[in-house]
């Protein structure tokens, strides 16, 4: 590191990349050597002296110490980052998808080449969570990590609750305000949260996670009625990323992303709009929650720049930069199928308004080892059907799915099934 300045190259000058450039103006020990962009002619809010549309110029530049990758996606990000690592460059990235899918290969290569890979911005934007888990919380044995990991879906669910409007109407509003992309699939179908919980599970339980084995369900089936009924029962609906030790075998993990009814007494229920939160449970800390902005130009840049400055503080002073932040574990996690999990359930049912319907629902549930905590009929519609809301006690997922199939066979429609936190 010449002239006591850390020399970095940035891949991506979009929202996050621009925020990084603006934030780094406050630090004189870091120099931006070059930046790579997709479109050289695009108007930008920042100026970098050397801009290229060939990102391989960044990763192969011998003058660069750290490659900052904030472009996203896996192609060409994977080839770029692995090339940079082979060239002995440290990595700072915000790329959750890349880490979830190819983290094992990247971390192994980083160990082999004695470089650090930092990714605080890849999980919850501006919330410091990776660093604390790897350092100040290192003395804990964790049993669970859960959280609201996607600001777009949390904003939509919050506005659906506040305004009593449909998912579709709220999505259009979120898109108009810039909270949701034109193609919102990655957010609303739970992919974004899935990538993030995979990374959190990796570092919390010291096991490698196959993202393809994570159960994923988005928010597109949530209705305004679901939110209203959940509120009546004392819950809020949130999209939750969950990773926990399997209760009957702590060597196995239960990892999933799906909507959940969160009790209003739970701290996570109060996280609204585009905010994120991560809740950790373990010994000896018991429970601790981190909350803050999960995305955005400057919140995400805060985490990226923090990682850059962490490297700047060590490079040139030690042969192994930031050893506590390196991924040394290699054991693959055994992830259970969701059908083997136990949960409480909210079930919204449309049934014929006739004698014996409530009794039939109770009988089918009872025959499948499901105890009901609450059952409520919410009026009768013009087609002589009734809306029935059921809250179960803790039950096996397999039994719940079997009961639902039996109810359908009796001409009972299931509007929605939501697990309870």
Strand partners, 258: 240
CA distance 185 to 152: 11
Distance CA 85, CA 318 (A): 18
Q: Are strands 372-380 and 385-392 parallel, antiparallel or unpaired?
A: antiparallel
Asked if residues 304 and 120 have their Cβ atoms less than 8 Å apart, the reply is yes
Spatial CB neighbours of 367, under 8 Å, sequence gap ≥ 6: 403, 406
What gap in Å lies between CA 299 and CA 67, rounded to an integer? 20
Known active-site residue 96: no
Cβ atoms < 10 Å from Cβ of 319: 6
The closest of 363, 393, 366, 362 to 377, measured between CA atoms, is 362
Straight-line distance from the first to the last Cα atom of the chain, in angstroms, rounded to the nearest whole number:
50
The Cα–Cα gap between 408 and 70 comes to 47
Helix (H) or strand (E) holding 373: strand 372-380
Tokens for 268, please give them: 């996570």
Q: What does each C-alpha distance from 418 to 28, 95, 218, 270, 362 come to in angstroms?
A: 51, 30, 11, 19, 18
Compute the distance between CA of residue 311 and CA of residue 321 in angstroms, rounded to an integer: 7
Q: Residue 368 phi/psi, 5° resolution?
A: -110, 25
Q: Residue length, the chain?
A: 421
Closest CA to 395 of 374, 417, 369: 369
User: Beta strand pairing status for 395-396 and 342-352?
Assistant: antiparallel
* C-alpha distances in Å from residue 340, one per residue of 96, 198, 367, 395: 28, 19, 18, 10
Which is catalytic among the residues 196, 236, 238, 245?
196
Whole-Å CA distances, 395 to 175, 249, 400:
38, 18, 7
Report the candidate in 344, 94, 96 with the shortest Cα–Cα distance to residue 197.
96
- Which residues belong to the active site? 196
């Amino acid at each position: 590191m010449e002239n006591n300045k850390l020399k970095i190259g940035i891949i991506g000058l979009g929202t996050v990349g621009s925020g990084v450039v603006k934030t780094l103006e406050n630090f004189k020990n870091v120099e931006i050597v070059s930046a790579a962009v997709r479109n050289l002619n695009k108007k930008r809010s920042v100026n970098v002296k050397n801009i290229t549309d060939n990102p391989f110029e960044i990763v192969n530049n011998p003058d660069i110490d750290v490659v900052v990758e904030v472009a996203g996606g896996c192609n060409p990000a994977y080839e770029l980052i692995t090339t940079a690592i082979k060239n002995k460059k440290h990595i700072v990235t915000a790329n959750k998808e890349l880490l979830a899918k190819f983290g094992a290969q990247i971390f192994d290569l980083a160990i082999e080449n004695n470089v650090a890979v930092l990714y605080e911005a890849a999980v919850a934007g501006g919330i410091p969570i990776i660093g604390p888990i790897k350092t100040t919380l290192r003395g804990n044995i964790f049993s669970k990590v859960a959280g609201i990991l996607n600001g777009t879906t949390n904003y939509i669910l919050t506005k659906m609750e506040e305004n009593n409007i449909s998912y579709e109407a709220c999505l259009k509003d979120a898109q108009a305000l810039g909270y949701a992309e034109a193609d919102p699939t990655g957010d609303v179908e739970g992919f974004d949260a899935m990538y993030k919980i995979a990374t959190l599970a990796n570092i919390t339980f010291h096991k490698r996670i196959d993202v393809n084995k994570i159960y994923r369900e988005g928010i597109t089936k949530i209705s305004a009625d679901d939110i209203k009924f959940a509120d009546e029962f004392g819950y809020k609906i949130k999209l939750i990323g969950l990773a926990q030790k399997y209760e009957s075998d702590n060597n196995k993990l239960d990892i999933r992303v799906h909507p959940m009814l969160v009790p209003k007494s739970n701290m996570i229920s109060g996280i609204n709009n585009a905010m994120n939160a991560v809740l950790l449970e373990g010994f000896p800390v018991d429970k601790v929650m981190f909350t803050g902005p999960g995305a955005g130009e400057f919140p995400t840049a805060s985490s990226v720049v923090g990682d850059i400055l962490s490297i700047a503080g060590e490079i040139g002073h030690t042969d192994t930069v930031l050893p506590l932040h390196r991924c040394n574990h290699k054991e693959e996690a055994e992830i259970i199928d969701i059908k083997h999990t136990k949960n409480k359930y909210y079930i919204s049912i449309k049934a014929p308004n006739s004698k014996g319907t409530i009794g039939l629902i109770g009988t089918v549930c009872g025959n499948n080892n499901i105890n009901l905590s609450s059952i409520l009929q919410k009026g009768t519609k013009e087609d002589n059907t009734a809306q029935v809301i059921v809250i179960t006690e803790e039950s096996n997922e397999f039994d719940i799915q079997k009961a639902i199939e039996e109810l359908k066979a009796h001409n009972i429609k299931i509007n929605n099934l939501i697990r309870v936190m």
